[in-house]
Amino acid sequence: MTHFPSKRLPRPHAVLAAVAGLLAACCLGAAGEARAAAAAPGTPAAAQSDAPRDAAPAAAPAGAGTASASRWTDRAHGFASLAGGTTGGAGGKVVTVSDQASLARYAAAGEPYVIRVQGAVAVAPFGSDIVVTSNKTIIGVGDTGEIVHGELHLNPGAHNVIIRNLTIRDSYVEGDWDGKTSDFDAIQMDTVDHVWIDHNRFTHMGDGLLDIRKDSQYITVSYNRFSNHNKALGIGWTTNVLTQITMDHNWFTGTKQRNPSADNCAYAHLYNNYLSAQVADGDPVWTYGNWSRGRTKMVIENSYYDRIQHPYQADASAELVERGSILRRTSGRTDEWGAAFDPGAFYAYRLDPAAAVPALVTRFSGPQKQIGDAVTLNVPGDYPTVQAAVDAVPDGNPVGVTVAVAPGTYREKVFIPASKPNIALRGTGHRRSDTVIVYDTPAEYGGSTGSATVRIAANDVTARNLTFSNDFDEAAVELKGEQALAMKTTGDRIVFENTAFLGNQDTLMTDSPKLTTPSRVYVRDSYIEGDVDFVYGRATTVIERSVIRLLSRGSATNNGYMTAASTWTGHPYGFLITRCEVVSDAPEQSFHLGRPWHPGGEPAAVGQVLIRDTALPAAVKSSPWTDMSGFSWRDARFAEYRNHGPGATVTADRPQLSDADAKAYTVTAYLEGADGWAPHRRTTH
């Protein structure tokens, strides 16, 4: 951008407020956005709101849950959450595999990995093991991930493993119903700790579906589906009493025994499980539901048993407490004796009503498309910086990865390269001002692009509930290149929702890889502030239902320019600002709506800007468009339509669209392109 020679006058109180805001994220909103609200008491609530659009529900206390609450998170619960927790491959690289060799290589690696299994991976020879070492997450992509004819095996000493959203099937040896000749489990673990088995489907295997053996500790088994098998789930097989296990919301259907068999477990907490359609083979002993064996202490809560022989039973040396479960068409043993233990003394959990369990578990157990569609990388919980999480995303990433950023101020630069599409940046705080990514580089050091706090070169990137800031103080120093970008995009199909962009000159640049290449950006329910050319570039950009604040540089006559479009002459659509509130404390008649930017004197960069259905403040000049670098604004494509407010007067220097022409300049028209992109129809409210 052409450097604007006149400096913004120092504003001591504003500078102090901004610094305080960056040191305490909750103050940042007050220092920036609250000023805008005060300047424009008529601002629509949707535009001013600093509340999140996608905040996660708060954790519920034990026993207080409802059937409508979320069915999954990306964090282990129950016993797997204790003693340091279970995070799997968090902090490591994310890889996607679709063949046995790749799966085996990453699963056995010495470093952490999040391993995404896409499609069916056939294992050979039949029944072979895939060895899984410590610090791994293995998760199915969407609901497609399958391991066929093979077993995941955790050897002694493995720890911190998550296995989610997979189908493991079909290593059954015909005629070997008891699994005595081939030990082909779905998952087997020996002397391991901190393992979370979640939302998987296990069916038709050679021995057990899930074997948790030899003093394994801190295990949670949740929302899995066990079907079409003899021995479903065995725990223990040692005289030591060490294993702690949580089992919740699992569905055992068409199984015969071990649902589970818990042998010498220190603590076994079973709640909200559903046992149905048990194999009816007339076996009077070895057809059963839950069995507390040896010296196990077992607690069963709010489970549902339908057509089950011996729903729950206990050895004389074991303890079993049951409460709140429903038995329907059952027969045989329902043993209850001893005090067992109090699960609530170990962790908080939510009990669903037993009557709701069949519907909940049949719907939500097993692989879920919503889980595998997007991996979540947590900052700073799993990755110390936002850039570290972005770096963990694989090149050519085919499906969604969410970088969930906890509240705080992250003083770093972030670059999402073109090779890493399908990323969502999401602040997890209550307000967008809770989570701030900020740096202070001016163009003097690295050029305009190098000044950007965040750069997005990839396609299909979304940012929500975040603040992006460049807090370079142009009033404090004399530099030739004072442009200081908070955000620069060159990718296509970029969405910003409930975000804030803070800066002065060149705050938000939406660009494309080259002049004739189209890129599209959609900004909604957001806040943008600046003074000189602070919304600019050549991308097709829609800003809707947002607050745009024109900062005062202390001049009585010229405080800056809101837009500087460089749209290619072959593209009909540049910037659309619609249903927004433009606010300012600058003097009346001191701010331009925009000027035409021709980078490097490029004559084919003929800016297009339409401002429609938007409130304009008195700071806007009655002749709001102006020339730039020898190019006349009259040769650009600038227009207004149905604006209102004290700055929306109609003069000879303010081109207005006709009602007929306005029908061709809608949000849909700007964004749809050749692929029908329509983020305005599906973005969350």
Q: Specify the range with the lowest mean pLDDT, choosing from 366-380, 408-422, 602-616.
A: 366-380
pLDDT tier for residue 52 given thresholds of 50, 70 and 90:
very low
Amino acid present at 191: T
3-state helix, strand, coil in the chain (%, to 5): 15, 35, 50
Per-residue pLDDT tens digits for 460-480: 999 999 999 999 998 888 787
**What is the mean predicted confidence (pLDDT) over 239-266?**
96
> SS3 for 46?
helix
pLDDT tier for residue 207 given thresholds of 50, 70 and 90:
confident
**What is the mean predicted confidence (pLDDT) over 295-323?**
98
| Strand arrangement of the beta sheet that strand 414-416 belongs to | 414-416, 454-456, 487-489, 508-510, 532-537, 560-565, 591-594
5 pLDDT above the threshold of 90: no
pLDDT tier for residue 62 given thresholds of 50, 70 and 90:
very low
Helix (H) or strand (E) holding 106: helix 100-107
Cis amide linkage into residue 44, ω under 30° from 0: no
Q: How far apart are CA 301 and CA 323, in angstroms?
A: 5
| Res 177: pLDDT | 67
Q: How far apart are CA 288 and CA 282, in angstroms?
A: 11
- Under 8 Å CB-to-CB from 275, ≥6 apart: which residues? 252, 253, 259, 289, 290, 303, 304, 305, 306, 308, 311
To the nearest whole percent, how much of the chain has pLDDT over 70? 89
> SS3 for 102?
helix
Burial of 131 (0-12, 13-18, 19+ CB in 10 A): middle
Q: How many residues does the chain have?
A: 685
* Sole residue written with tokens 């599209």: 520
pLDDT tier for residue 68 given thresholds of 50, 70 and 90:
very low
* Sole residue written with tokens 């009033």: 475
Check if the beta carbon of residue 8 is closer than 8 Å to that of residue 551: yes
**What is the mean predicted confidence (pLDDT) over 490-511?**
98
Per-residue pLDDT tens digits for 113-150: 999 999 999 999 998 999 999 999 999 998 999 999 99
The 3 state secondary structure assigned to 342-366 is CHHHCCCCCCCCHHHHHHHHHHHCC
| Res 11: pLDDT | 37
**What is the mean predicted confidence (pLDDT) over 499-522?**
97
- Under 8 Å CB-to-CB from 419, ≥6 apart: which residues? 395, 396, 458
- Start-to-end CA distance of the chain, whole Å, equals 35
Q: What is the pTM assigned to this prediction?
A: 0.81
The mean pLDDT of the chain is 89
Q: Specify the range with the lowest mean pLDDT, choosing from 278-282, 524-528, 547-551, 655-659.
A: 278-282
**What is the mean predicted confidence (pLDDT) over 574-580?**
98
pLDDT tier for residue 14 given thresholds of 50, 70 and 90:
very low
**What is the mean predicted confidence (pLDDT) over 453-461?**
98
